[in-house]
Amino acid sequence: MEVRHTRLGRLLLPSLSDCLFVSLLVLLFGTGGRWATLLADGDSGWHIRTGEFILDHRQWPFRDLFSFSKAGQPWYAWEWLSDLLFAAVFRALGLKGLVLASGLVITASAILVLRHMIWRGANAFLAVALTMLSVGAASIHYLARPHVFTLLLWAVSLLVLERDRRQPTRAVWLLVPLTALWTNLHGGWVALPASLAVLAAGSVIEALLNPPAAGRWFRTRRYSALALASSLASLANPYGPRLHLHIVRYLRSDWIRNMVDEFQSPKFRSENSLHFEIILFAGLMLAAWLLSRREVAEALLLLAWAHAALVSARHVPLFVILAAPPVAAAASLLWTRWTEGKPAKSVLVILDRVATDLAPGFRHTSLWIALGVLALVLFTPAAHWPRNFPQQKFPVELIERQRGRLEGSRVFTSDQWGDYLIYRFYPRQKVFIDGRSDFYGPEIGKQYLRTVQAHPDWRKVLDGYSMNLVVAHPEWPLANLLQQVPGWRLVDRDSTALLFERTGP
C-alpha cells in the first residue's frame, strides 16, 4: 500500500524534470513565434504530402510522385512511417499540430539525455548545464522533419546500452524491435548497428589488453550478436534490402557530400558551434582518459562519433547526445574530488549538497507535464502559431498572388521552394527538383546548379523540360540574366523572389 501511495504521489507531484521540459519547450519554440523555425526546411512539405498519399491510397509509394524531371522513376520513401504520422497530425491539427508534435519529440529527447546524466550519477547542476549545451549544439537540426525521431530513439538506445554495460539484462534485446521501428521512421537507424559494431570491436581490444578475459569476451559476443540482430531487423521495411543498398549509395555519394550543406563539415561561426566545440573538446579529453584506463569500447565510440560530427554537421546532434552523459559523469567526479576536504560551509560544498538534494527531482515525470504543455498550447497567442511556412525563407505571398500562373505549370525554382510548391499545390503541381537529393542525384543536381549560375547551357535545360516559369532568388545570376534576354519577362517580384514568364521560343 505504501508503494502504491508513493507511486501515486510521484504522479501527482510536479518534478524538476517536468519544469525543465516545459521551460525548454517554451524557450526553444514557444516565445515570439519561434514555432515557425521548425518549418525553416521545405522538406516538411513533401513529407506531409507523401504521408497523405499513403493515407489516401493505403499503399507505399515505389515510384516518384512529385517531379516532371524524373516522373515515374523508382523512388524509396524510406521515412514512410514518419510521413504517415506527419500527415495524420497535419490533417487533424494543421501546421500548428505538426510543429507542436515535433517540438515535443525534440524536447523529450533533451530531457532523456538529462535523465541519462542523472542516472550516471552526474551532479544536477552540471547535468542541466550539459543539457543546455547539448540543446544549443543540436538545435541546428531542430526542424519538423523525420530526423526528430532519430534524436529520441538514439537517446533511448544509448541509455539502454549503458544500463546493459553496467548490468547485463534481457532488456537490451528490445533494441532489436526498436531498430525495426526506427528503420521505417528515419535513415538514422544505421547509427545503432554501427555503434554496436564499434562497441564489439572495442570489447575485443579490452579483452586482449586486460587478461584474464573471460568476462570481456562476453561483451564482444553480446554486442556482435546485437549488431547482427538489429541489422536483420532493419530488413522489416517495404523495400527490403534495396533500402540498404540505396542508403549505402547515398552515404558514399561525393555529390551529396559536396552539395548538401548538412553533409558538409560544421561551420564554427555561431553560438551553436561554440556549444558543440565545448562538448567536442570535453569528449576528446574524456576519450583520452578512458584509453589510459583501458576502457577502449566507450573511448572508440566517442572518437568515432566525434569524427562523424566533424565530417558532417548532420551528425553533430548525435554526437552531443552520445557525449553529454559520460562527460557530465566525468566532470561530476572531478567536482567531487575538488570539494573533498573543503569546509562544510564553503560555497562549493553547499552547492554540492544542493545538487545532491535536487537530483531525485529529475528522475521522474508526473502528470503535471501534460498540464504544462496544455497550458502552453492554450495560452500561446494565435499569431505565434504558424499558418504557413515562414515568409523569410519561402516566397509565400508571391506564390499566393500568382497561384493562377503557377499551379500546374512547369516551374524552375530552388529545391527548397520546390518543396513548398509540392506542399502548396500537389497533386496538381510537379517540380523540376525538390529536397530529395538522394532521388535526383548528380544528373539533375548539376543541371539545376548550372542553370542557377546562368551557365551557357541554361536555355537548353529550361527548353528541354518545357519550363515556362522561373521563380528565382534575387541573387541568382539567372535572375539577372532573365531580365535582359528576349523571350522572358518579369511578371512579379518581392524581397524574397522574382517570377519570370516565358514569352517566346
- 505 residues of the chain, pLDDT tens digit each: 344 446 666 677 888 999 999 999 999 998 888 999 999 999 999 999 999 999 999 999 999 999 999 999 999 999 999 999 999 999 999 999 999 999 999 999 999 999 999 999 999 999 999 999 999 999 989 999 999 999 999 999 999 999 999 999 999 999 999 999 999 999 999 999 999 999 999 999 988 887 765 566 888 999 999 999 999 999 999 999 999 998 888 878 777 777 777 888 888 888 889 999 999 999 999 999 999 999 999 999 999 999 999 999 999 999 999 999 999 999 999 988 888 878 877 888 888 888 888 888 888 888 889 999 999 999 999 999 999 999 999 999 999 999 999 999 999 999 999 999 999 999 999 999 999 988 998 999 999 999 999 999 999 999 999 999 999 999 999 999 999 999 999 999 999 999 999 997 7
Strands 498-502 and 469-472 come out as antiparallel
Domains of the chain: 2-31+76-378 (no CATH), 396-502 (3.40.190)
Using CA atoms, how far residue 364 sits from 16, 169, 355, 358, in Å, is 8, 22, 16, 12
pLDDT in tens, 116-172: 999 999 999 999 999 999 999 999 899 999 999 999 999 999 999 999 999 999 999
The tally of CA atoms less than 13 A away on the side-chain side of residue 194 is 13
Q: Hey, what's the cell of 334?
A: 572531478
Instruction: Return d(Cα 457, Cα 261) in angstroms, integer.
Output: 25
Q: Cα dihedral angle (236, 237, 240, 243), rounded to 10 degrees?
A: -130
Residue type, 343: P
Euclidean distance between CA atoms 280 and 84, whole angstroms? 35
The closest alpha carbon to 108, from 376, 377, 369, belongs to 369
Q: Residue 262 has what pLDDT?
A: 80
What distance in Å separates the CA atoms of residue 380 and residue 376, rounded to the nearest whole number? 6
Whole-angstrom Cα Rg for the chain = 25
Q: What DSSP line would sit under 159-206, residue for residue?
A: HHHHHHHHS--GGGGGHHHHHHHHHHH-GGGGHHHHHHHHHHHHHHHH
Separation of alpha carbons 345 and 338, rounded Å: 15
pLDDT of residue 3: 41
- pLDDT, one tens digit per residue, over 17-40 is 999 999 999 999 988 889 999 999
Q: Which residue has the cell 498540464?
A: 371
Which residue is listed with cell 515515374? 72
- Return d(Cα 63, Cα 71) in angstroms, integer: 8
